[in-house]
Structure formats: structure tokens, C-alpha cells
Structure 1
């Protein structure tokens, strides 16, 4: 004889409530399937568990005899499931973190890719690329999504996305008439690069690149990290030019969208694209083959270019 554990749960619920509707509510089902399952259990056991009349439900002698053993069986089943959960959750997951300042649409794609990995994973968005790098170096993350370049020589990386640079201007700005701009067109303008402030390495590199091309009037619009809305407000009110990433589907791309703004790609002939990479620290790895495989699987899932460093 085989006994279904779900039917045992139904039996215990009815036995404790002595009312089919209350038991069904407790089990979050409707009374008809509950009654059917009890009848099937009675057929399996070879006898009635309840006496039913219009107003009352009572346990039969068989039901009274089997109630405590049923409770004991269900307790053991629950303990078994809890033990299995503890064992599987104690398995060492791959800890993956991402900078919150990557394009939001790419972050969503990355999280989906992480969710498809066959290994157990933990995904988090700690903050800036500098924070992700610190967690990689300290061993609190196994894989991290960061902006390049990185100054930490302990990191290895795999490029997973590349975005052209762009400018964002007010809809009536003279530059808004162009479909593509050269960076030299910004030489006489007040330029905002606040989006890069969460990553000091990227900020310093961007500042150097602008200065090298004669763009010196760099202004600050916000004192907070991730203050994209405040930055956009000041770009609009003060007719500033924001240097950002060309990612129209991202949150910042949607902020700088028509009709108030125009997002314009920068000519790539003398302006390098922004590169985003999965990074790891080989010296911190206790299972390098598994981490390497996870990096490649994520890269394949997000459609990454074939580049490593």
C-alpha cells in the first residue's frame, strides 16, 4: 500500500478542524477536491476516517488511531525537507556582484544570465565598481562586473559589453541638430561628467581624455552618487553638455530622451568606447575552473565580445 503525503496533510487538517470548509481554507484549496482526496485516502487505507452528517464531522475509530501516527510522519517529512534545504544551501555558492552604475538594461540582462547558471549563485549590486573591486580583492565576491580600466593588477577580466560615448543636451541646443558629434565640439562648453564619479579611476581617465582634446570646462552638478535626475535638471536649466554612455534603453538613456533632451553618439575615431567586464582575482580562487566556466557561461548569455585580459 502506498500513501500520499499530501493526502495525509489533508487528513490531519480535517481531523484538527472537524470541518471541511475550515480545513480547505487552511490548506488554501476548495472543499470539493479536499473531500475527493480524503475519499481516495480512505480507499488506500481500506476504511473510513470520518463520520459525516449534515452538521458534524467526527473521527471514526480508524481515524482516531491514525491521527497521531500521521502527525508523526508529517513531522518527519518536514524535518527531512528542512535538512535537505540546509545541506543544499550550505553548498558554497558562486558570489557575483555588479556595479550599480553599469547601464540598467545590461544589469537586468546580467542578472537573468546569472539565474541560468547550473551552479548555486548569490547575486548582489554592492555599489560602485570600486566597491565591487574591493569585495573581489577581499574575497567577499568571486566574480564582479566593473568598468574598465582598472588600476588593480590583481584582477583578471573578461570584457562583456562595450558602449560608445555620447553627449546629452537640451532639445534646443545647437549640438542637438547633429546625429554624431566629435569630442572637439565641446571645447567651448560647460561639460558634466558626474555619472563617472562613483568610479574614481574612470573619472580620472575621462577627465584626462577631455583635457587632452582641449575640453577644460568641466563642471559638477550634484554632490550625490547616482544623482542622474539632478544632473539632468541642471543640464536642462543651465544648457550644459553631459558626457555619458550611449545606452538609450538604460535608465540614464531614458532620462536624457526626447522631447526634453537628445542623446547623441560621440565619433569613435578619437574617443574610446566604455568597456564593462567580468573580473575575478585568481589568487582568491579555491575553485578556479568552476569560476572560469561561470564567467564564460555568463559572457555567452549576454552576447559578450570575445575579449579577455
Structure 2
């Protein structure tokens, strides 16, 4: 048994998906699966119940999870010991995307207040792509962004996911529907915000829409909610937002209608991201507390 096997096991246990765990760890699925099989053989029992397109923890895996997390936390803390004594930071630079529901940022800030009371939390609001660049340049310490990320120097923890609603004029023929599916809007023009807000996530969204038959996609050069509302009003196009986001609430307040999109495979994940080099200190404390509070379930927004 080695520390890499434990790290792989914990990632799969938290994601309950080998592919997402591999993305999070920046490895391919094959070596990830192989190392976990080796760990199970050494331990003498299955950690996961593997079914078609579904992964669950066995009773043995569930019992093994918390001790494994504890070992990882202690191991990562060794870096602080090796670095020698240092003065505790008085502030942590936090970033957040204003395009996501505010509940996740509130949870992160509240958790900081609990585990590191008195620490200052200067806040930067930027789209996810800008926040990831600031993290890479070490100008931020932690950020709430859309996931996944593909930077091997960053670590992430998913906290929540939210689904979409189709935005339209109040007099649109679809406005009275209780819900919609992609085939029902396949012939309509779909407005999307600029892919620059998070190229990786927006690429996945475009591909999913096209696979579902929505091919008349227009990408706007911005994410200005007022301009998007104007486009919907004047062109009768559709767009996708979430009612729980700040932008979604604005669209509803100015008279546009948001009809839930019935597509269980289309959702956005939101979580915290931090530099891999940030071991120990307030960042490690808040991540551990968020992980413990979340358990194995994501908050649905």
C-alpha cells in the first residue's frame, strides 16, 4: 500500500466515477483502475461496487474511507514540517465566479470563519477562466469556479451542481410548458455566453447541445445579462440559465420565463480550486472541513 493508491481511492470514493476521478487527478482511467485493483487485492476485499455506468462504495470501502483521508491529511501536512516554522497567514485571497449560485461561496466563507476565525478574506469576482489564471499566477489562494479544471498544478473539490432552465419571452409558445427537452427546442436558435468564461466547461456544453440536436448555437462575445435579455426579447431566441443564479433571477425579474430543462446529463458542477503546492494552513483546514461537511453528496442548487 502506498500514498498514491490512497489518493486514488479517496478521489474515486468522492467522485463515485472513475472518469471524473481521473480528470481530477490528471491521470488516465487505466492506471487509476489498476492501482485501485492492486490496493483491493492487498487489502483482501472490494472497495467499490462496480456496475454499468455506476460506482458505489462497498461497506468495506465506506469503513476504509475516513482512515484513508486521515492518512492523506497527515501526509500532506509533512510538507509544512519540512518547510520549517512560519508565521500564520493573516489573509487568504479568495475568488468566485459571479455566474454561479451564491450559496457555494457563502458556504466557503462561513467555513473559513469557523476553522480560521479572524482571517481576512479579500474577494475577487471574475469568470472562472480569469480566476484560474489568477490561481496559476499565485495571485489568488482559493477560488469558487465551475469544474472541471485541466491544470495539473491545481487541486479541486466539487461541492455542488445545478441544472438549467430554458430562457424565453413570456409570449413564446413554449413558455407555458412545465419542462422541456432538447428535442423540443432543437429547431430554435440558442444563445450562449462567451466561451471565454470557461473554455473547457463551455466546450462540453456546446457538444452536449449539438449531440441533442440543438445546432443553431450563437455564442455571444460577452456574458452581459442585460444584453442577453435584449437578444432574447428582440430575436425570440432561447438561452440557458439557472434560476438560482444571480443572472437567472435578473432574467426572471425583467419578465422573461425560465422553463426547467429535463436533461439529467446536462448540469454544471461548482467547487473550490487551489494550488497543489498549498499544503497545510488555512487552505488545508477549510478544504478538510468542506469535504467532511459534504460527505459523499453534492449540494443540488
TM-score by length of 1: 0.60
| Partners of 1:167 and 1:265 within 8 A in 2 | yes
Matched, 1:158 2:157: yes
Query: CA 1:198/1:104 → structure 2, altered by over 3 Å: closer, same or farther?
Result: same
Task: Tell me whether 142-151 or 95-104 shows the greater mean CA deviation.
Answer: 95-104
Q: How many equivalent residue pairs?
A: 211
Q: What residue number does 1:292 align with?
A: 284
Q: What residue number does 2:225 align with?
A: 228
CA drift at 1:149: 2.1
CA drift at 1:277: 0.7
User: Paired residue for 1:255, among 250, 254, 258?
Assistant: 250
Q: What residue number does 1:280 align with?
A: 274
Deviation by residue 1:215-260 (Cα, 9 ceiling, x = unmatched): 110124x533x3101101111121111112342xx32122221672
CA distance in 1, matches of 2:136, 2:185: 38
Query: CA 1:293/1:113 → structure 2, altered by over 3 Å: closer, same or farther?
Result: closer
Q: What residue number does 2:91 align with?
A: 93
* Other structure's SS at 1:175 match: coil
CA drift at 1:110: 4.3
**Between Structure 1 and Structure 2, whose CA radius of gyration is higher?**
1
* Other structure's SS at 1:173 match: coil
Query: CA 1:155/1:262 → structure 2, altered by over 3 Å: closer, same or farther?
Result: same
Q: What residue number does 1:167 align with?
A: 166
Query: CA 1:111/1:92 → structure 2, altered by over 3 Å: closer, same or farther?
Result: closer
CA drift at 1:105: 5.3
CA drift at 1:207: 1.0
CA drift at 1:141: 2.3
Alignment of 1:48-197 (within 5 A): 91-104=89-102, 106-108=104-106, 110-119=108-117, 120-194=119-193, 197=196
* Other structure's SS at 1:140 match: coil
| Partners of 1:160 and 1:305 within 8 A in 2 | no
Query: CA 1:228/1:304 → structure 2, altered by over 3 Å: closer, same or farther?
Result: farther
Structure 2: which 5+ residue stretches go unaligned? 1-86
TM-score by length of 2: 0.61
Query: CA 1:291/1:91 → structure 2, altered by over 3 Å: closer, same or farther?
Result: closer
Query: CA 1:153/1:237 → structure 2, altered by over 3 Å: closer, same or farther?
Result: same
| Partners of 2:104 and 2:144 within 8 A in 1 | no
CA distance in 1, matches of 2:227, 2:158: 31
CA drift at 1:131: 1.7
Runs of 4+ in 1 over 6 A off after TM superposition: none
